[in-house]
Amino acid sequence: MSFVTTSDGTRIFYKDWGAGRPVVLSHGWPLNSDSWEAQQLFLADNGYRVIAHDRRGHGRSTQTWHGNEMDTYADDLASLIDALDLSEVTLVGFSTGGGEITRYIGRHGTARVAQAVLVSAVPPLMVLRDDNPGGVPIEVFDGIRAGSLADRSQLYRDLAAGPFFNGAASEGIQRAFWLQSMAAGHRNAYESIAAFSATDFRDDLAKFDVPTLVIHGDADQIVPFEVGGKASAALVKDSQLIVYPDAPHGITDTHKEQLGNDLLTFLNGYVA
């Protein structure tokens, strides 16, 4: 297995498939890089080098005690990109991973980045606040935290059977969701709930200066379209927004063929 080691000694697992201009895939909560396997295989088969990593505390990466927040996630991503000396990278982030790549651009800029893609992503800001009146009430995230402490195995089963896929996923896909989720560290996954729900990415999105594609289902029950994709597209200058009608949050599984084709079209449209 392949790892890079960050400045605090954390080992970040990654898969590196194919050859060509690099694409880096950042996964959602509480999953890992396996959740990208359909898109990673498809894009690698179509002429790209596709790298997918496990966020710290998830999958095969180190289960650290600290660093379960977006600044550290972004710095870990920078460690991966720097260690592999990647350039002209297309960053693709799903859900929490969309926050990770957005904070990466906010903290590290776009010197190595050619394009960005936000898929069912958590930016600009999920939680309801006075300055984010369309957000999701804090009680929703408190309920996820309570479920995680009480019985996180059942929480993950309920998410997979319910709002993550809106009933559009097979039993096999739901079991894969549970399996990946249980591979995350308990503390890591618990603290990451605050990272994806309460981090404000609006200043980071203002720093996007590369072609950006936003893809979001308008029936997303985890990151509502109005809070996520629609709001992000409005903040990124000249971004392209693709809405999947009646699509749930987990479109990497439920709409993998359509998503793969949309990603490939965007990648092939890049002009250096």
All domains of the chain, ordered by start, with CATH? 2-269 (3.40.50.1820)
Q: What is the pLDDT of residue 126?
A: 98
Classify residue 29 as exposed, middle or buried by CB count within 10 Å of its CB (0-12, 13-18, 19+). Answer: buried
- Residue-wise pLDDT for 156-189, tens only, equals 999 999 999 999 999 999 999 999 999 999 999 9
Helix axes 256-268, 37-45, angle to 10 degrees: 40
Q: What is the pLDDT of residue 1?
A: 87
Q: Is the dihedral of CA 153, 67, 194, 198 positive or negative?
A: negative
Q: What is the pLDDT of residue 221?
A: 98
Q: What is the pLDDT of residue 55?
A: 98
Q: Where are the beta strands (DSSP E) in 123-169?
A: none
- Cα-based distances in Å from 28 to 4, 192, 225: 20, 10, 16
Q: Tell me which residues of the chain have a pLDDT lower than 50.
A: none
Tokens (6 digits) for 44: 């690698």
Tell me which residue of 88, 108, 253, 66 sits closest to 176, measured CA to CA.
253
Classify residue 41 as exposed, middle or buried by CB count within 10 Å of its CB (0-12, 13-18, 19+). Answer: middle
Neighbour-count burial for 198-218, b at 16+ CB within 10 Å, e otherwise: bbebbebbeebebbbbbbbbe
Q: What is the pLDDT of residue 272?
A: 84
Measured CA to CA, the distance from residue 208 to residue 264 in angstroms comes to: 21
Pairing state of beta strands 240-244 and 212-217? Answer: parallel
User: Under a CB-based contact definition with an 8 Å cutoff, are residues 206 and 231 in contact?
Assistant: no
- Give catalytic residues, as residue numbers: 95, 220, 249
Measured CA to CA, the distance from residue 261 to residue 137 in angstroms comes to: 35
